[in-house]
Amino acid sequence: MTTTPAPAIDVRGLRKTYGPVVAVDHVDLAVAEGEIFGVLGPNGSGKSTTVECIAGMRRPDAGTVRILGLDPVADHDAVKRSVGVQLQSAGLQPKLRVREALDLFASFYDDPREPLELATRLGLGDRLDHPWRKLSGGQQQRLAIALALVGRPRVALLDELSTGLDPRSRRDVWDLVEEVRADGTTILLVTHLMEEAQHLCDRIALVERGRILVVDTPEGLIGRTAAPLVMSFVPDRALDTGGLVALAGVSDVMERSGRLQVACDDAAVLRVLDWLHDQHVRPEHLRVTESSLDEAYLDLVAGDETTTDAPEKESIR
């Protein structure tokens, strides 16, 4: 008999309102142990509120949240020993030095990582005696990530993982996240970077207005769009792009410095080649690539920022 292991994070019917604002509305999600799960969506779509409810920092209005089988509000102390959290607003004490912060957070856990090694990995090795307030935005961000991961947590919740990081630091953070996962940590991360989501995540939830639109693998999301492929080539003679667009399965044709880009579905690839052949056009430097997650996102998420007459900001919980 096989039993399915309980998910590391199990959210059912989660709802959270701030006065008249419904921030999270009937969200269900299950993150398997060892998974890297991404949450993507426009600003104000309830991503941070969801993370804060999972972390036990906000009490849901309805629904249940279980993390490692525990109720994050009722079992807060136990959760704190097994879960690492990087919040968007990591309000650390301004005078706390990097080294002190790392030591403090490491002390919450049974088997923490070596804080100095982690700081060095994240480019903070020469900032250990700097107070938090004197760090640059990117350095504060890297410290927040280090603090979330220093305890070797069983689950890490990372809100806006690499927002504000330069490309080099971002790569370092991605390597670290992959290594931490290889060590067995389950990771839920919020990101705005499609490249990051595609690189790191096993599955992604697209959210909008407090609801989950779809959960799928990055490839699966791309496959759901009308045009999962891009054929790109340089025609050896002028052609009638109108004829191309008219082919079944072709959704868009763009020209960029002599190269044509045809967005289409799988079945249209041969149709396009046959059509070019009939027109006596040779597609030179032909490439067929997967359309990007960017396009899938734009296709699947309407994308208008949730506008609200936000009431007075409510403090945590």
Which one, 47 or 203, has the nearer CB to Mg ion?
Answer: 47
Residues that bind Mg ion (CB under 5 A): 47-48, 88
> With binding defined as CB under 6 A, does residue 308 bind ligand ADP?
yes
Find the shortest distance in angstroms from Cβ 17 to ligand ADP: 8
DSSP letter at 221? H
Find the shortest distance in angstroms from Cβ 24 to ligand ADP: 7
Find the shortest distance in angstroms from Cβ 283 to ligand ADP: 42
Q: Name the nearest CA neighbour of 273 among 294, 257, 287, 259.
A: 287
Partner touching 45 among ligand ADP, Mg ion, none, CB below 5 to 8 Å by kind: ligand ADP
> With binding defined as CB under 6 A, does residue 23 bind ligand ADP?
yes
Which one, 47 or 209, has the nearer CB to Mg ion?
Answer: 47
Find the shortest distance in angstroms from Cβ 160 to Mg ion: 6
Q: In the numeric block, which tokens belong to residue 17?
A: 């309102």
> With binding defined as CB under 6 A, does residue 18 bind ligand ADP?
yes
CA distance 110 to 100: 18
Is residue 264 within 8 A of residue 231, CB to CB? The reply is yes
Is residue 225 within 8 A of residue 295, CB to CB? The reply is yes
* Cross-strand pairs, 187: 36, 156
Q: Name the nearest CA neighbour of 310 among 18, 13, 15.
A: 18
Q: In the numeric block, which tokens belong to residue 272?
A: 């396009």
> With binding defined as CB under 6 A, does residue 140 bind ligand ADP?
no
> With binding defined as CB under 6 A, does residue 314 bind ligand ADP?
yes
CA distance 262 to 259: 10
What mask, x for binding ligand ADP by CB under 6 A, covers residues 84 to 123? ----------------------------------------
Torsion-angle region of residue 184: left (phi > 0), alpha (psi -120 to 50) or beta?
left
Q: Name the nearest CA neighbour of 59 among 8, 86, 24.
A: 24
Residue list 32-61, contact with ligand ADP (CB under 6 A): 41, 43-49
Find the shortest distance in angstroms from Cβ 107 to ligand ADP: 29
Q: Where along the sequence are the contacts to ligand ADP (CB under 6 A)? A: 18, 21, 23, 41, 43-49, 306, 308, 310-311, 313-314
